[in-house]
């Protein structure tokens, strides 16, 4: 065996079929298609397959049916641009790409609605939605149609010129969200950066803050992206460590006391603004902290923060990249609090996940070519009533999770279809949330852990109530099985590093043996005639 094959990625090791029955190995069989007894309710079928209804509506339900033309692609044309197997895709990504994420060992090859398929044809229910980027569902047929139509007409004009779609898009944004102005961007992180730039300029030009003194505050445990400004506001060591020095004038702590501004704690923010409100340009906050584990604040938190910001003439920026576009049962999550933030940042869900589109919504305090399918994405939200759908199905999902009454589930929380379960690891016999997600994957449900013991559950808004019930059945079965699985997540680490150490030992032995022999031959020939 060549040396290079020994140094496979951890992901590849995870993906390999592990059937050892020793006490320290989990019996995952994740490379083969999951099998489901035909008499069980959790059989996963493609949306609108023969055995299901022809829409994502549910018989007897008040939910509006979603796109009736959602259908899985039964065959994929061969292409030199696509990996032919999950194993090769994971291996090649590890071999050629930088590693800044820790994904589950699953490869997406195609998708439709709330279902995805890997290269081997195994089907899964998606309960992550690309971090809320595909609220309208994967490959929504109307969005694909709009994308192709615009691509045939005009691909790029740049802001150096006008085009015939952007004004219509801006008008649509105004009508849907009720903001006077919109500034388009490409990514969510870029929208956050731009909102902070706008806030600082406003502070200097309007509020009268001394140049280079404007402050931007955030709540602790936030996630606003991975750019330098975003991580400068973070308190997460994994996000911050080894990237300093950080951007000055932004942060989630009081500059004088160094005390963090805790999320859902109005008094912390009040103390900071009493001391530094004169120089503060803005406070940026997520209405629900997604990356922190879908942390839902008190109902009156945002309204009190809004009032406090107005008192100190500070702009309130709501980062709705994960919570916006109907995800929580309102077009903007901040609507639940009855407020209108001064600025709102939105991410690629505004285009249905089809194109890198984001924007900053601005209220009247600031007055002074992706658009085509982004308009269509917003129209679909209205036509299919996906916002109302998210609210209703969110209640179904949370009630179903609570009805499981599992001691392993410490807490169920969320709004709409942005939800999470907090796992009590003292009840899992040493297993982690990662292990539970791996078990869910083997049964056909995709979810991702965050902050070690929290699992986020956020399917596309087009998901059917039937698939919600299937997901609940899978979760119920998995939490029953989890404590009985052999081994722990760490065993994958030990398995992987154990193989590497073994490989190194073998190759070091051979290297030492041949080097010694060569050295002896060299000495022998030169001096003593050794052979």
The residue among 447, 409, 445, 446 whose CA lies nearest residue 426 is: 409
Q: Catalytic pick from 223, 263, 283, 366?
A: 223
Tell me the chain's radius of gyration from C-alpha atoms: 26
Q: Please provide residue 296's backbone torsions phi and psi, each rounded to the nearest 5 degrees.
A: -95, 120
d(CA 29, CA 54): 33
d(CA 433, CA 448): 9
Residue 319: active-site member: yes
**Calculated CA dihedral for residues 507, 512, 513, 518, nearest 10 degrees:** 130
Q: Looking at 29-126, which runs of residues are DSSP E strands?
A: 110-112, 115-117, 123-126
- % helix / strand / coil in the chain, to the nearest 5? 40, 15, 45
Euclidean distance between CA atoms 43 and 51, whole angstroms: 11
Q: Is 348 a catalytic residue?
A: yes
Kindly name the residue from 118, 319, 435, 491 that is annotated as catalytic: 319
223 as an active site residue: the answer is yes
Question: What are the C-alpha distances in Å from 71 to residues 66, 115, 393, 425, 498?
Answer: 12, 10, 21, 39, 45
Work out the number of other CB atoms within 10 angstroms of the CB of residue 183: 17
Annotated catalytic residue within 12, 172, 348, 443: 348
* Residue 357 to residue 375: CA distance in whole angstroms: 11
**N residues, the chain:** 531
Q: To 5 degrees, how large is the angle CA 183–CA 234–CA 453?
A: 115
Q: Is 7 exposed, middle or buried (0-12, 13-18, 19+ CB in 10 A)?
A: middle
**Cβ atoms 119, 89 nearer than 8 A:** yes
Residues catalogued as catalytic: 223, 319, 348
């Amino acid at each position: 065996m060549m040396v290079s094959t020994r140094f496979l990625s951890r992901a590849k090791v995870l993906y390999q079929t592990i059937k050892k029955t020793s006490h320290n190995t989990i019996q995952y069989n994740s490379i083969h298609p999951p099998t489901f007894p035909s008499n069980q309710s959790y059989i996963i079928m493609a949306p609108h397959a023969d055995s299901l209804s022809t829409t994502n509506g549910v018989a007897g339900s008040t939910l509006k049916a979603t796109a009736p033309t959602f259908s899985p692609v039964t065959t994929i044309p061969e292409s030199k641009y696509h990996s032919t197997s999950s194993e090769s895709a994971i291996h090649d990504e590890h071999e050629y790409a930088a590693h800044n994420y820790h994904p589950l060992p699953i490869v997406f090859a195609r998708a439709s609605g709330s279902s995805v398929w890997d290269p081997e044809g195994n089907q899964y229910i998606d309960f992550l939605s690309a971090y809320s980027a595909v609220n309208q569902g994967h490959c929504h047929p109307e969005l694909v149609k709009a994308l192709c139509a615009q691509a045939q007409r005009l691909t790029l004009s740049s802001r150096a010129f006008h085009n015939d779609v952007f004004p219509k898009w801006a008008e649509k944004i105004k009508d849907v969200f009720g903001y006077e102005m919109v500034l388009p961007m490409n990514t969510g992180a870029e929208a956050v950066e731009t909102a902070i730039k706008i806030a600082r300029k406003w502070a200097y030009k309007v509020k009268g803050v001394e140049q280079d003194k404007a402050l931007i505050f955030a709540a602790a445990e936030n996630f606003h992206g991975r750019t330098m400004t975003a991580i400068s506001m973070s308190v997460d060591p994994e996000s911050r460590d080894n990237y300093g020095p950080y951007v000055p004038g932004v942060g989630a702590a009081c500059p004088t006391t160094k005390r963090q501004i805790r999320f859902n704690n109005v008094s912390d923010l009040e103390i900071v603004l009493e001391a530094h409100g004169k120089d503060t340009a803005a406070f940026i906050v997520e209405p629900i902290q997604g990356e922190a584990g879908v942390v839902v604040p008190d109902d009156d938190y945002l309204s009190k923060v809004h009032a406090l910001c107005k008192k100190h003439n500070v702009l309130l920026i709501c980062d709705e990249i994960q919570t916006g576009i109907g995800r929580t049962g309102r077009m903007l999550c901040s609507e639940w609090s009855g407020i209108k933030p001064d600025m709102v940042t939105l991410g690629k869900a505004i285009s249905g996940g089809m194109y890198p589109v984001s924007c900053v919504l601005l209220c009247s305090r600031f007055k002074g070519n992706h658009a085509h399918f982004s308009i269509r994405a917003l129209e679909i939200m209205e036509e299919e009533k996906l916002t109302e759908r998210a609210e209703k199905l969110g209640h179904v999902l949370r009630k179903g999770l609570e009805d499981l009454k599992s001691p392993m589930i410490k807490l169920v929380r969320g709004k709409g279809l942005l939800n999470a379960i907090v796992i009590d690891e003292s009840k899992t016999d040493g297993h982690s949330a990662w292990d539970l997600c791996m078990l869910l994957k083997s049964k056909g449900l995709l979810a991702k852990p965050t902050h070690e013991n929290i699992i986020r559950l956020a399917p596309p808004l087009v998901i059917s109530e039937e698939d919600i019930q299937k997901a609940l059945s899978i979760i119920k079965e998995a939490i029953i099985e989890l404590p009985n699985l052999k081994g722990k997540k760490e065993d994958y680490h030990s398995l992987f590093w154990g193989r590497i150490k073994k490989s190194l030992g073998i190759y070091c032995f051979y290297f030492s043996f041949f080097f010694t022999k060569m050295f002896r031959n060299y000495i022998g020939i030169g001096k003593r005639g050794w052979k």
